[in-house]
Amino acid sequence: MRRRTFLSTALASLATSRISSLTYAADAAQSRDHLLVVLFLRGGCDGLNLLGPANDKDYIAARPEWLRVTDAGKFEGLSLKNGYNGIDMRLHKEAAPLKELYDSGHLAMIHACGLQNGSRSHFEAQDMMERGVADQKDIGVASGWLTRTIEALSPRGLLPAVAVGGELPDSLLHSKVAVSMTEARDFNYGHERQVALLKRLYEGRESIHRTGKLTLDTITALQTKLPRDGDGNVQDYTPEKGVSYNDIGGLGDSLRSLAQIAKMDAGLRVATVDYDGWDTHESQEYRFNEQVSELSRALHAFYNDMSRFHSKMTIVVHTEFGRRLKSNQSEGTDHGYGGVHMVLGQGINGGRLHGEWRGLANEHLDEGADLAIATDYRTILSEVLTKRVGLDDVKSIFPGFAMPKALGIV
């Protein structure tokens, strides 16, 4: 997004906001500073190829070797401790960095998770998940679940919510404080003379004038936090020692940008990142290998880069649905149902698989074809919001959702 286009969008979205939504000094009474990062794997990640029961006869019968994890050979998966009883659950061979996080006790994984009464349409499933609902009849909810989370937290930092990318996702729909940016250095609008001219245009006392000036002041304040050389040029971001995002790919670039933004001490509470390309109807083996490798390396680099924030950061990774148990005729998999979700952070009950695994026998499948949902995705989010982020309850976040017994992730 071009800078001028961004500013116009920012001014329009903030025009109806309360001016108190953005302030420079944190409220002394606001002690909750936990950062929630939501990484959405768009396209429907094949959870059974990412994390599969290597010794399950129904799994073996349904897929060729190149679309599952095996217990030996070319597609041998990475064995995990603390799995489901009697099941040899293994990670994809390209997920070694994820296994390292898992073995360290910082990563928890939940299989057979997703939208109950959901859809196998990308658009509908993503829309429901980002609005925090689980049924088409509730799709009229006006805002995103992260928008309602921010409102419940009432943060008073400079930059409470950021979507890394060109636009806000629907999880931040109608947010009055969220902004989108690709890089912190590009969150700008021309030279100082142009900004000064715009500030003069917003010298009135109407709400839109105050909002416009506040937006420009916010941009200016963030720009002053960027490291510069002796000539005033913005310097490239330097990760923590031993961390490199080089040659990872687009997700690595996005998470590197997020790390820089999070370290700017601007009151960031919620951040979203998208990683698409998981719609593997054809030639899944090569595409999926690349996707898993990039996801694993990027998350590993970001988590290590954010080492100083581990005690006050939680990362949730989810996808709109999984893929069908049986492979198709194009060496891929079609839209399914249950998938794999992840929670990453210091102090969680990591290093284990959570939720219920009912198996892949036909009587346990949804409509005899897909991995059935055993865990509603909102169960995971509710536990994170109440036990990590600082909310008292989630009634306003997930309307109509009756919280079942907690999974014990936290």
* pLDDT value at residue 50: 98
Please count the structural domains in the chain. Answer: 1
* pLDDT value at residue 195: 64
In the block, residue with structure tokens 């994809």: 92
Q: Is 402 a domain residue?
A: no
In the block, residue with structure tokens 């014990």: 408
Percent of the chain whose predicted confidence (pLDDT) is above 90? 71
Q: Is 79 a domain residue?
A: yes
* pLDDT value at residue 221: 80
Helix (H, G, I), strand (E, B) or coil at 272: strand
* pLDDT value at residue 20: 27
Tell me how far apart the alpha carbons of residues 123 and 147 are, in angstroms, rounded to a whole number: 19
341: which strand partners?
110
Q: Is 105 a domain residue?
A: yes
Structural domain of 279: 3-19+30-389
Q: Is 395 a domain residue?
A: no
Q: Strand runs (DSSP E) across 284-403, as ranges?
A: 313-319, 339-344, 352-354, 375-376
Q: Is 329 a domain residue?
A: yes
DSSP 55: T
Query: Which residues lie below 8 Å from residue 370, measured CB to CB, with a gap of 6+?
Result: 322, 324, 325, 336, 337, 338
SS3 content of the chain, % helix, strand, coil (to 5): 35, 15, 50
**Tell me, what CATH number does 346's domain have?**
3.40.720
* pLDDT value at residue 157: 86
Q: Is 293 a domain residue?
A: yes
Helix (H, G, I), strand (E, B) or coil at 108: strand
Tell me how far apart the alpha carbons of residues 90 and 79 are, in angstroms, rounded to a whole number: 5
Contact 280, 288 (CB under 8 A): yes
Contact 284, 49 (CB under 8 A): yes
Rounded to two decimals, the pTM is: 0.89
Query: Which residues lie below 8 Å from residue 238, measured CB to CB, with a gap of 6+?
Result: none
Q: Is 400 a domain residue?
A: no
Average pLDDT score over the chain: 88
Query: Which residues lie below 8 Å from residue 49, measured CB to CB, with a gap of 6+?
Result: 67, 68, 69, 92, 284, 288, 323, 333
CA distances from 127 to 28, 133, 219, 230, 384 (A): 36, 9, 30, 47, 21
Tell me how far apart the alpha carbons of residues 274 and 153 are, in angstroms, rounded to a whole number: 23
* pLDDT value at residue 213: 66
Q: Is 404 a domain residue?
A: no
pLDDT tens track, the chain, 410 positions? 434 334 444 443 433 332 222 222 233 233 369 999 999 999 999 999 999 999 999 999 999 999 999 999 999 999 999 999 989 999 999 999 999 999 999 999 999 999 988 789 999 999 999 999 988 777 777 899 999 999 999 998 889 999 999 899 999 999 988 989 999 888 776 666 776 776 677 777 676 666 666 677 777 788 888 888 888 888 999 999 999 999 999 999 999 999 999 999 899 999 999 999 999 999 999 999 999 999 999 999 999 999 999 999 999 999 999 999 999 999 999 999 999 999 999 999 999 999 999 999 999 999 999 999 999 999 999 999 999 999 999 999 999 899 889 999 99
| Among 173, 115, 180, CA closest to 144 | 173
* pLDDT value at residue 211: 62
